[in-house]
Structure 1
Amino acid sequence: MARRLSAEALGTLLLVTVVVGSGIAAQRLSPGDVGLQLLENSTATVLGLTVLILLFGPTSGAHFNPVVSLAGWFLGRRTHNGLTLSEVGAYTLAQVAGGIAGAVLANLMFGLPAVEISTTARTGSDLWLAEVVATTGLVALIFTLARTGRGALAAPAVGAYIGAAYWFTSSTSFANPAVTVGRVFSDTFAGIEPGSVPGFVAAQVVGAFLGVALVRWFHPDIDTPDTPGADTAARAVVPHATAPSGTERKSG
């Protein structure tokens, strides 16, 4: 469990470092051109997220996202194949801590104060709807890949989806409470003011449950014990082995 939590913390740290760091670089390289800044930021995020899933997936499942961990628990709860609720809590704490540390690291690498609280307001029903849409698609994609035995495609598929969602959502697809909290600590292109966080996180939680509902609708046997491959509900994002409570099993 210690290895899994450290993988989640470090993976989320590096993910936020990629997002915030590339945002700072984009501002400096392309001042005054917001469209080009977004292209640079999204490209770095696609590539970075893909690599991080490949790097940490075999250890922790490469969630880097509390709503993914929560969805894994919900989908696997009947057969006890997913995370336990206490493990979801531990994953969430590790992810949020990693997200904050990632913003600090990015700030320091670019010669900024370690902590700068963002002043970028991101609020309104349009942005909240965008976060619902972005998170719904992300959760549905991850667990559909798991259910259909295509977990090996998670890294490029999730990276591609987030890259696309940067552009087709008005919120630029945070889709992740830990990343949202982390981005509070960077007053840059990628930041979000503290007052905007509750609305974003609430929208992300709604999106997560809509994503779960889609998975259950299209794959109703996802957690049926006698269905071949049913334990794939637990394998988000990448299949990996754990040994909770002294028993070998697959978990996510």
Structure 2
Amino acid sequence: MGEILNQVGMTSLTTLLSIAVIFLLAKLMGTKQVSQMTMFDYVVGITIGSIAAELATELEEPAKPLTAMILYGLIAVLISVLTNKSIKVRTMVTGKPMVLLENGVIYRENLKKARLDLNEFLTYCRIGGWFDLNQLQSAVLEHNGVVSFLPKETDRPATPTDLNLNPKQSQVQVPFVMDGILLADNIHQAGKEESWVQRSLLRQGYKDEKTVLLALWDGGEKLTVFPMDPPAEP
């Protein structure tokens, strides 16, 4: 019984250690969305995860997988630094954009290099909202696997400039209330006071912030408010 408890305790410690190391390595390597990862990032992430799982259950020699995890993380950081400083290294590690379509011509050889067939290419186009290839000027496969599209001038959406309009510049909405709590730091950084927020809520029928799930400020004199409890469906 004592041996079992000892193994459980050691496994718990090595599991916590692996989680802590993964967290530190993730912070060190930087934050990227999955869609922004290069193939190298993806492979390193899977490898570090596999080693972390081994570390969690390695009771005899936990130093070996721990050392491997740290080395993988440091090498990934080193390569990231090199790709930032050297265009040649960046091209070698992350690759470069590849033109798949230009001026009505589909580049078959580039599709082959990208390991894409025509059906997959057409799927990417439809996902991007392009069902008629005649509307496209260019389609480019980026190094992270995302296909970017440039529509023809005659088929792109009209902009305010095209219509000689001068709309007011929108601002990023700042949360002033979340989960019924006033976010004092956000409010003060925006040059407002809690009392102003409470008055604004009151004008919209909310007696206090506790009845508000989310309140956003876009630079105007009114908040966009979402109630804590939505009205009952009719």
TM-score range relative to shorter protein: under 0.3
TM-score normalised by the chain length of structure 1: 0.21
Instruction: State the TM-score, normalized to the length of structure 2.
Output: 0.22
More helix by share: 1
Larger radius of gyration: 2
Higher relative contact order (Cα pairs below 8 Å, separated by 6+ residues): 1
**Higher normalized strand content (fraction of residues):** 2
